[in-house]
Structure 1
Amino acid sequence: MAISLEANPNTISLEEFLALPETKPASEYLDDQIYQKPMPQGKHSTLQAEMVMAINQRAKPQKLAYAFPELRCTFGKRSIVPDIAVFEWNHIPLDADGEPLNKIQIAPDWMIEILSPAQSPFLIIDKLGFAMKCGTKLGWLIVPQERTVLTFQGDRLNSHRGTDILPMLEILSDWQMSVQDVFDLLKF
């Protein structure tokens, strides 16, 4: 859903958007328009939390990568908030104290989106495709309603189901995770 701005409903600059107060749920800036993400529901929140934990348990001890939930990333004249943004360890933007920067101005290496029932699949696919053009190496679109994961690598888009093994970042290539493994994260 686009948010109409009374002063000038058709355009807003990226700088003007970034000066606005943060919203809950987060708003994103795509092609001079503001879109507010839907409030996450149970399955979305569970998949997000469990995926972040699984990635960080696997990648952080060896300093391979780190997964951030709901991290604003501003690049290529857009400002987006992926459900999960994963950066290879040597790409994590750090300050002089070795701590993550608050303002991230590069595309994540791996971007994971979880489609909520109220979200436009086109908008999410557009975000993933744009990120790929700006340097993201791997994109996943998890579709809980279909028990499917769409993956983006380079100019390839693939659909995966069931026991299909999902592509990983090259630095995590020894980790195998199937679509079923992803959806098993929903089980308590």
Structure 2
Amino acid sequence: MTASLTQILTIEEFLKLPQIEESSAWEYVDGVAMQKPMPKTRQSILQKRLLIEIDRHSELYTALPELRCTFAGRSIVPDIAVIAWNRIQTNEVGEPEDNFIAAPDWSIEILSPEQKVNRVIDNLLHCLKHGCRLGWMLDPDDYSVLIFAPKQEPNVCRGGCQLQVLEEIHLELTAEQVFAWLKIEKR
């Protein structure tokens, strides 16, 4: 179940709440703080494998797990935020700034049984509206990937369907390949 604080907050008030950095990811949408459910095993495996594959196939982008992205009146935490290295602000010693205040280039969400599908889609659409170039919503129960891109209809991919990735990332994946990562051979 997703927890929420029903008190209407400003984004500034939300970002000062102590619990948003102490526990499972909290997001801020339309004045309300909502906690994302803790990832389950299948979610974590898919997240780990996608992080590795995206980073292996691109030098221009990095894939980051659970990065808070605060922009356009929302503060969201995609399961994976793919961001061009040149968009990550650095401090005076060349280290990344702690707060990322823009939409990721590619936002990936992996559904858990407790999540509300429309909330996840709403966050992906918000990202696209504010500069994100690609959104994925993986549904491990349906073995499908719902793909969102600006000015295109959403596309559901299953089986051998080739998944759309950012042009500069040289990665070829099908939905079938992604969900095959969930098959564990006992050693």
Q: Considering the TM-score relative to the shorter chain, is it more than 0.5?
A: yes
| Letter of the 1:161 counterpart | R
Equivalence for 2:4:
3
Task: Name 2:63's counterpart in structure 1.
Answer: 67
**Residue 166 (structure 2) aligns with:** 169
CA displacement 1:99-132 (0-9 Å, x = unmatched): 2211000110000000000000000000000000
Q: Is the 8 A contact 1:110 1:169 kept in 2?
A: yes
**Whole-angstrom CA distance in 1 between matches of 2:157 and 2:41:** 23
2:174 aligns with one of 167, 178, 188: 178
RMSD: 1.2
Partner of 1:90: 86
Could you say which residue in structure 1 is the equivalent of 2:32?
A: 33
1:42-88 deviations in Å (ceiling 9; x for gaps): 100111111111111222xxx21100000001000100010000002
Partner residue of 1:153 out of 127, 149, 152: 149
| TM-score normalised by structure 1 residue count | 0.91
Unaligned runs of 5+ in 2: none
Letter in 2 for 1:43: R
8 Å CA contact 1:73, 1:106 repeated in 2: yes
Q: In the alignment, is residue 105 of structure 1 matched against residue 101 of structure 2? A: yes
Q: Per the alignment, in what secondary structure is the counterpart of residue 151 of structure 1?
A: strand
Provide the C-alpha distance between the structure 2 equivalents of 1:132 and 1:123, rounded to a whole number of angstroms. Answer: 14
In structure 1, C-alpha distance between the alignment counterparts of 2:5 and 2:84, rounded to whole Å: 36
| Residues 84 and 112 in structure 1, CA contact (< 8 A), matched pair in contact too | yes
1:5-35 Cα shifts (integer Å, max 9, x gaps): 5xxx2x1000000001124111100010111
Determine the C-alpha separation between the residues in 2 that align with 1:69 and 1:42: 15
Separation in structure 2 between the aligned mates of residue 2 and residue 122 of structure 1, nearest angstrom: 16
Distance between the aligned counterparts of 2:4 and 2:108, measured in 1? Answer: 24
Identity %: 43
- Cα separation, 1, equivalents of 2:106 and 2:79: 11
SS class of match (1:53): helix
1:140 to partner: Cα distance: 0.3
State the distance in 1 between where 2:101 and 2:144 align: 30
Preserved contact between residue 3 and residue 36 of structure 2 (Cα < 8 Å): no
CA distance in 1, matches of 2:49, 2:93: 29
Q: TM-score under structure 2 normalisation?
A: 0.92
Give 1:2 shift. Answer: 5.0
1: CA distance between counterparts of 2:22 and 2:119? 19
Structure 1 Cα separation of the partners of residues 180 and 157 of structure 2:
15
Deviation at residue 97 of structure 1 after TM alignment: 2.5
Runs of 4+ in 1 over 4 A off after TM superposition: none
Q: Who is 2:14 aligned against?
A: 17
Aligned partner of 2:129 in structure 1 is 133
Find the counterpart in structure 1 of residue 53 from structure 2.
54
